[in-house]
Each structure stands twice: as structure tokens, then as C-alpha cells.
Copies of this chain bind each other. A is one copy, B any other.
Amino acid sequence: MLKISSLGAGNVAWHLTQNLEQKGCIIDEVYSRNLAHARMLAQQLGHATATDSLDFWASEADLFILAVTDDALEEVIRSMKVSPSAILVHTSGSQSMGVFDALPNPHGVFYPLQTFSKNKPIDFSEVPFCLEASDEDTFALLYQMATVLSTKVYTVDSEQRKKLHLAAVFACNFSNHLMALAEVILHRENLDFDMLRPLIKETMEKALSIKPQEAQTGPAYRNDRQIMEAHIRLLAGHPFEQEIYRLISQSISAMYP
């Protein structure tokens, strides 16, 4: 039975450890620099002790999952005391596997490509897991663990994972911001954002079923200059929104010349 220590008690650790436990893994320890956070997650688990110490010399864990913020990752790796035979993995989209190079331990990346909130359950069987490892045995272990959780398991090296994370920023963070700007525009007119709900839902469904490049519509796609100029005028006094309107319209025109 695989014994696991979770370093981190945030959103990723919260869901990952509980799902791993449901699949028969033993979560042995939960570390957080905030002990109260570690305790909160440990209480959700069957056998875990909470700690705010990075001294794992006495730990029985086979695998350490570092699910800490990108900022904290290097510092945690530098500070942790751990048997050189323990396997270390992180869960970050944007950190390369090379962050573990200073340690002799077998290591890897176990990156779930999903956004997590503590209070919202996630269907893990649909979460894509992106795996990378320093050696075949470690890869085999991570692969086994990932396939127990999910039907979508990918081998992704550090360079690809960075591009994947970058693509996710465009597809998710940035598209969310454009919805936020729509919310702002509607708010100025006392119109309810909910009016856009069915249209947004349909847009996403189309983008996911026929792919976004095929699904593109709108004034810039049709090269309807009259509407685009009218829209820019409607945004007078809001230079960011005007600039975004212009730039994205140009980018759409460039994609469909």
C-alpha cells in the first residue's frame, strides 16, 4: 500500500489527497506552514497527522507530493529533510522538473490540469493528469496512480507543460477576463449579466464540440467594419476596453484572412 505525504493543504492537495485515499492510498502526513491548515485537511483523511515541520527523516512515506504554491516550491525543496530514497513530485503546471535536481531523490511531476476550489467537488475521472519522471520506475508509479484516479493520463515534458499552462491561461484566465469585461459593460447599462448566460453556454459548447478555430463568429470574423467602428465608439472613455477590442479584432482578422 502506497504511503503518501502531502506537502501543502491548499486546493490541489485538498482534492488530490482525498481522492487518492478513496482509491486505497494511505495519506500519512499533511504538511502546511500553517499548522491549522494542515490539521483541517488531516481531519478529512483517515490516517494523516498534521505538521508544520519540513523534517521528514522519520517519515514512512514512499511518495511526497509537493502541492504548494509556485513561489514556495523551491524554498520547500531546499528546506525539507527527507530520505534520499523517497520519491518527490510536484503538481505545478509552470515549474520544470529540474527544480528537484539539487536532491538525489527520484522525482517527477504529477500535474492535474484543472482548477480546484475547496467547496466544489471535482470528477477526477475527467481530470487530465500530465506526468513526467526522472526514471522509468518513478514514471511507472505515477502512471499507475494517475490511471487509478483518471481516464486521461498524458506524458508531458517540462517544456510542453509550460506551453500547456500558457494555453490554459489564454483559454481560461483570459477568456474569463473577457466575460468579466462584458459584465462591466452590462453593469454600466443596468443590464443583467445573466442575459448572456445561454449565449456563453452555447459558445463554450460549440468551442468544445467543433473546436474554437472552427466555431469563430462575430463582426471581426465577418470583417464587418461598420459594426466594429460603432463598437469602438460605444467604448469611448474606456481605453483598455477599446484597445482590447481593436487588438483581438485584428488577431481574429489575421487568423481568417
Residues of A within 8 A of B (CB): 70-71, 94, 113-115, 117, 120, 122, 126-128, 130, 152, 154, 156, 159-160, 162-164, 166-186, 188-189, 191, 193, 195-204, 206-208, 211-213, 215-221, 224, 226-227, 230-231, 234-235, 240-241, 243-245, 247-248, 250-252, 254-255
Known contacts A160-B191, A166-B234, A180-B213; 15 additional CB pairs below 8 A are A71-B224, A115-B199, A122-B202, A162-B230, A166-B185, A166-B235, A168-B199, A171-B179, A171-B199, A172-B218, A173-B216, A173-B252, A174-B244, A176-B215, A201-B208
- The distance in angstroms between the C-alpha atoms of A213 and B75, with both chains bound, is 32
Pick the most buried of A70, A176, A227: most chain B CB atoms within 10 A of its CB. Answer: A176
Contact B208 A200 (CB under 8 A): yes
A189 & B160 in contact (Cβ 8 Å cutoff): yes
Report chain B residues within 8 Å CB of A120: 206
How long is the Cα–Cα vector from A217 to B177 in the complex, in angstroms? 9
Given A204-B200, A218-B173, A166:B244 Cβ within 8 A: no
Q: Which residues from chain B contact A252 at a C-beta distance below 8 Å?
A: 173, 177
In the bound assembly, the distance between CA atoms of A245 and B179 in angstroms comes to 16
Contact: A178 with B183, CB < 8 Å? no
| Among candidates B113, B217, B248, residue contacting A115 with C-beta atoms closer than 8 Å | B217
- The answer to whether B173 and A217 have CB atoms under 8 Å apart is yes
CA distance A152 to B171 in the complex (A): 29
**Chain B residues whose C-beta falls within 8 Å of the C-beta of A248 in the assembled complex:** 174, 177-178, 244
